[in-house]
Amino acid sequence: MGQDVEDGRLVGGRYRLEGVLGRGGMGTVWRGRDETLGRTVAVKELRFPSSIDDEEKQRLIMRTLREAKAIARIRSGSAITVYDVVDEDDRPWIVMELIEGRSLADTIRQDGPLSPRRTAEVGLAVLDVLRAAHREGILHRDVKPSNVLMEEGTGRVVLTDFGIAKVQGDPSITSTGMLVGAPSYISPERARGNPPGPPADMWSLGGLLYAAVEGRPPYDKGSAISTLTAVMTEPLPPLERAGALSEVIFGLLEKDPEKRLDVAGARVLLEMAAAVSDGMDTTGGGATPADVTRSAAGMPPVPPPGGSGSEPRTPPVRTASGLPPIPSLNPPGGRAGSAASGTGAGSGAGNGPGSWPAARQGFGGLGSRRTLAIIAAVVVLLVILGVVVANAVGSDGGGSAAGSDGGTGQQEQQGDKTGQDDGDDEAAEPSSKPEPDNGGKDDGKGEDKGEDGGKDKGKQDGALPDGYRRVADGRFHFSMAMPQDFKRTGTAGAGSGAKYGWPGGGYPKLQVDYNDSPLADAVLAWKGLEPAVRKSSPGYKLLDLQKVKWRGYPTVADWSFLRNEGDQRVRVLNRGFKVDDKRGYAIMVTCKADEWTGEQCRTLRQTAFKTFKPQ
């Protein structure tokens, strides 16, 4: 029998074809009706080109059957459910659950880019399918917006089309030298012809997230060769709308698969991005997931690498998971179609991120060092610090004058009487108490101890360095002197702190975070985070991490390290401390590494620590 199929045909003696939903190069997707069970289904018909030879025909049949088997092995609410495979006309017909809606590609094209929060929800759904697939030894190899369906009325997200999936142990059935998949979403290692592993799917997920939130693929150059060359050699194009998704996109689109975020790391960052209200992305690139979650004991920031959203960077590991499921946003109305036009298959109940199970073994490994570092950081912080997700307390006008915060902050002029704290000597000294072992990473360097160096001892608050003024922030309960030209450049996430720097960007820069439920041990908090940040920060080098004595506060720890932010080598000092049971802070200073001991950076550090006052 030929391949001309008409509406009304009964396939397999059971499935009545009712209309075409979509057509592709090798198949047609039909709307069908299961006359035995009385339900609507999707029926995928395999079609052969007229010029095809018998060998290629068998290859396509094998591919179709492998797709059905792969899908049937995946257990995820965001994966297609295969109901049946029918052999008719010497070719397989796959019967699947019908998803009414549009593809993600159609949604972007017709409605524009998704919000960062909705993109994170889509990413969590796709990630859940990839986790389940990788656990079964299955690589999708074609994760892209046209293969993601958005169910009308429910917001459910479904990953479709495992037609070119690679199943561990199965022989390859692609033609010799054939690179399968969409060039914009093919990982660098695949573009170079290397065997793919799970990191290749994670790269594709990163490309999908980029396209969903930015409205365009990350490396699309118009031709396959140019696009693949860009994938292998060019930095990631600047992010303009990603906001809280920036960290996970940078981590997934890491060219080195060994450094790329894996499922566990991506899940943590996506959950935190999904917890950020879209209205909170107010500072250019928006709040990062690091900003959303803040620990107690004054250990707020895991400092995000990179000075701006346009600089290539690898995200630090973040510190919370187990967020409650985020309900799907109401999706735009859609239409039925094929995977190319928006209809496919999926199973069962919804895809809330709260249902994401623990990471399991995939292609013969126990979980990468990236996974273990992330999990270690999360567990340490949850147990020791009692990490909480801050609730949004309103938008902040990034780029406003330093110290301004929607009317809650004030600027104090030089010479204003502000009262005294615990004394004028703000130098931190190493604690004489025994420290927990740090694996020999401290190098014996104490370069960030005694920041004041005695130079400013005896000065009153009114005697600030030339060009400095005191800024008071009522929202985050502190005041501090800083350069008079510094501006408020952003809010640290869900209302946890304030960022300050030069209006045009650059270094040095300051961040002060506040927590009203501090817990006990600052040094353990930093040591819990340090392995994860080390793994995820390009060029990271630990200089010092130790408990210090400062102002008599009950727990203080200095964490000093080097890393690369884009093409700039920087040095970071992050001092976390607990003032009392209701007030914990972290002061983070970042300078160019070769200017750390220069007058500008040294004066900023010394003045910040000397003049900081909790309120």
**Rounded Cα–Cα distance for residues 7 and 17 (Å):** 5
Annotation-wise, does 44 bind a ligand? yes
Catalytic residue among 142, 281, 452, 558, which?
142
Under 8 Å between Cβ of 67 and 163: yes
Phi-psi region of 83 (alpha: psi -120 to 50; beta: other; left: phi over 0): alpha
Tell me which residue of 123, 104, 84, 94 sits closest to 28, measured CA to CA. 94
**Rounded Cα–Cα distance for residues 522 and 501 (Å):** 26
Nearest-10 crossing angle of helices 263-274, 369-380: 40
Q: Which residues contact 437 (CB under 8 A, 6 or more apart)?
A: none
**Rounded Cα–Cα distance for residues 146 and 101 (Å):** 12
What string of DSSP letters covers 292-355? HEE-STT----PPP-SSTTS---PPP-----PPPPPPPPPPP-----TTTT-B---SS---GGG
CB atoms within 10 A of CB 72: 15
Under 8 Å between Cβ of 272 and 475: no
Burial label for 376, CB within 10 Å (0-12, 13-18, 19+), is middle
Tell me which residue of 270, 253, 251, 189 sits closest to 219, measured CA to CA. 253
CB atoms within 10 A of CB 224: 14
**Eight-class DSSP state of 18:** E
Which residues lie across from 166 on neighbouring strands? 139
Helices (H), 74-115: 104-111
142 is catalytic: yes
Tell me which residue of 278, 277, 320, 282 sits closest to 300, measured CA to CA. 320
What string of DSSP letters covers 466-478? TTEEEEEETTTTE
**Rounded Cα–Cα distance for residues 422 and 425 (Å):** 9
Tell me which residue of 573, 509, 570, 508 sits closest to 538, measured CA to CA. 570
Under 8 Å between Cβ of 26 and 56: no
Distances (CA, A) of 258 to 59, 154, 262: 33, 37, 9
Under 8 Å between Cβ of 525 and 297: yes
**Eight-class DSSP state of 99:** B
**Eight-class DSSP state of 401:** B
Match 């600047």 to its residue by tokens: 238
Distances (CA, A) of 24 to 337, 341, 361, 452, 576: 11, 10, 35, 69, 57
3-state secondary structure (DSSP) of residue 64: helix
Looking only at the bridges linking them, the beta strands covering 388-389 and 410-412 are: unpaired
Which residues lie across from 91 on neighbouring strands? 88
Under 8 Å between Cβ of 106 and 342: yes
* Annotated binding-site members for ATP: 44
Q: Point out the residues that are catalytic.
A: 142
* Annotated binding-site members: 44
